[in-house]
Amino acid sequence: MLTDTAVRNAQSKDKPYKLTDSGGLYLLVKSVGKYWRMNYRYAGKQKTLAIGVYPAITLSAARKKRDEARDLLIKDVDPALVKAVNKQVKKHALDNTFQTIALEWHTKQSATWAESTAANIKRCLEADIFPWLGNRPIKDINAPDLLAVLRKIESRGAHEKAQRAREYIGRVFRYAIQTGRAERDPGGDLKGALTPVKAKHHASITDPKAIGALLRSISGFIGSYTTKCALQLAPLVFVRPGELRQAEWAEIDFDKKEWRIPGHKMKMGEQHIIPLSRQAIEILESIQPLTGHGKYIFPSIRSTDRPMSENTVNAALRRMGYEKDEMTGHGFRSMASTLLHEHGWPHEAIERQLAHAERNKVSASYNFAEHLPKRREMMQWWADYLDELAAGAKVINFQKA
């Protein structure tokens, strides 16, 4: 029989060789390592069972596995078959963990999301959910397990994020149910368990006189010229901040006076057209000599291969004296929506220009060119109106005829 010393001191030779123990167990010594094997007969055939690699499997551990295999043979069970079945069970369990299914769901769905949305969801999964639920078989996860994870997020005061995490978990479970790897979504049992979140609205200036003052502040902005142009363009196009900072020169058609944002960048996953007013064209033409050689209209100050930081516009507003509860980069959207509605522009054209999908539509897709002639007219009127406000023109409230 072998000893621990003999196993430890066994050295490789020109050819593999065996060191025999007992009961069919032996150590196969190769140039690349030492392997435990067991020879046995089953159904009249000579077979070999791979037990493990030394030193991860010690001599005593190898003998224990040999004895377990011999017990199976006494019961007329092939140990190699049992090993293969157990391997499949482990693989099946790995394929059905929460993390595996969540990443599979994310990969399939992300093609329909804006890049920023996909990145935010993945970041939430990796930072707040996977560390506690990732390696768990999804069918074994229950409502108290989910609540414990969501409570960790709430403990940081991130109540809104906890609600979003619960939504993501629910969508993963629904995908698991659809693919036959779960029977129900335990997240449904958490109704009322999390701290309610009041709806928050992005701070925005909607008073015409205050808008004029804001536009004059932007005109006098002292700082990066790229940032100043982004600030000037923001109220004219009122897109989402992420869409503005990721704008590419290839998306601009100066002849048609259009900015076409591809669907993968949009929140709703559909291409979006922004008719460009004369004023918007002038801003783009003024910055083109500076950034037109690169991909992004508003590149990062550190690398032209990346767009400007998501905090750049808000930071510039703070420098201009506007607090976060007064005005944000996102606030240009509600500014435009409020004033355009007040001046009688069609609700449908405004909503379409804001890229708001109609929630009551049967089809998830919508016509990105819908109301385009009216939107062209509206966008030029809006730019002219902002010029009037910036010039300090007297504001008269009236309904547009």
Question: Using an 8 Å Cβ cutoff, are 229 and 282 in contact?
Answer: no
* CB contact at 8 A, 150 and 138: no
User: Given this model, what pLDDT does residue 395 score?
Assistant: 46
Q: In whole angstroms, what is the distance from residue 257 CA to residue 274 CA? A: 9
Q: What is the pLDDT of residues 177-208, one digit of tens each?
A: 999 888 999 998 998 899 887 656 678 999 99
In this chain, the answer to whether the domains covering 4-78 and 98-190 adopt an identical fold is: no
Output the CA torsion sign for 105, 107, 113, 116.
Answer: positive
Going from N- to C-terminal start, the domains of the chain cover 4-78, 98-190, 208-390
Does 3.30.160.390 match the CATH number of domain 4-78?
A: yes
Domain 208-390 annotated CATH 3.40.640.10? no
Give the per-residue pLDDT at 370: 83
**pLDDT at residue 74 above 90?**
yes
Output the pLDDT for position 196. Answer: 85
Give the active site residues.
Answer: 240, 267, 330, 333, 356, 366
Residue 274, SS3 per DSSP: strand
* CATH code, residues 98-190: 1.10.150.130
Condensed to tens digits (0 to 9), the pLDDT of residues 10-41 reads 999 999 999 999 999 999 999 999 999 999 99
pTM of the model: 0.56
Instruction: Give every strand in the sheet of 25-30, ordered side by side.
Output: 17-20, 25-30, 33-42, 45-54
